[in-house]
């Protein structure tokens, strides 16, 4: 399965990139999580925040495959250990690409290479629409969507 999303955002690649990687940005779009990493290809990363295991719950983790600031980031992705006992065998690839289009940015997300029988494909497919819409809204308005959560 391949999940593919494209959004045109009335913001610069730098604005969107900062939402994707800084603690101020990720807390707003990834349910209070911070992206912890050295941000180098081959390095580990983890989205850590409030959850089942307290304030330091690992929600998603993996390794960077590519990391080019303001352009692209690609990584392997595993669900956090508190979500499923066989989390290490459940993997997909996530690739964000940012391309300037006039004064806007084309933001593309491809989530693919899911391991066989990955249990979260449908939940992931549904969640990305919310997350990406929130990124677009935050980049354009400076505030997130009020989803009533």
pLDDT of 79-95, one tens digit each? 999 888 889 999 999 99
Kindly tell me if the per-residue pLDDT of 1 is higher than 90.
no
| CA-CA-CA-CA torsion sign (98, 94, 37, 20) | positive
Residue ranges and CATH numbers for the domains of the chain are: 3-141 (3.30.530.20)
Whole-angstrom Cα Rg for the chain = 15
**DSSP code at position 10:** S
Total residues found in the chain within this entry: 149
pLDDT of 39-75, one tens digit each? 999 999 999 999 999 999 999 999 999 999 999 999 9
Percentage above 70 pLDDT, the chain = 100
Task: Give the pLDDT score at 106.
Answer: 98
Q: Are 72 and 93 in contact (CB under 8 A)?
A: no
DSSP string, 83-104: T-TTGGG--EEEEEEEEEETTE
Kindly tell me if the per-residue pLDDT of 149 is higher than 80.
no
């Amino acid at each position: 399965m391949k999940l593919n999303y494209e959004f045109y955002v009335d913001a610069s690649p730098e604005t969107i990139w900062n939402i994707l990687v800084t603690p101020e940005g990720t807390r707003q779009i990834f349910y209070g999580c911070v992206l912890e990493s050295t941000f180098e290809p081959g390095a580990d990363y983890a989205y850590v925040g409030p959850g089942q295991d307290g304030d330091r719950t690992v929600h998603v983790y993996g390794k960077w495959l590519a990391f080019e600031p303001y352009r692209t980031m690609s990584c392997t992705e595993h669900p956090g250990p508190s979500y499923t006992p066989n989390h290490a065998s459940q993997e997909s690839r996530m690739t964000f690409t940012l391309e300037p289009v006039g004064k806007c940015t084309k933001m593309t997300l491809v989530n693919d290479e899911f391991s066989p029988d990955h249990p979260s494909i449908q939940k992931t497919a549904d969640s990305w629409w919310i997350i990406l819409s929130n990124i677009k809204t935050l980049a354009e308005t400076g505030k997130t969507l009020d989803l009533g959560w």
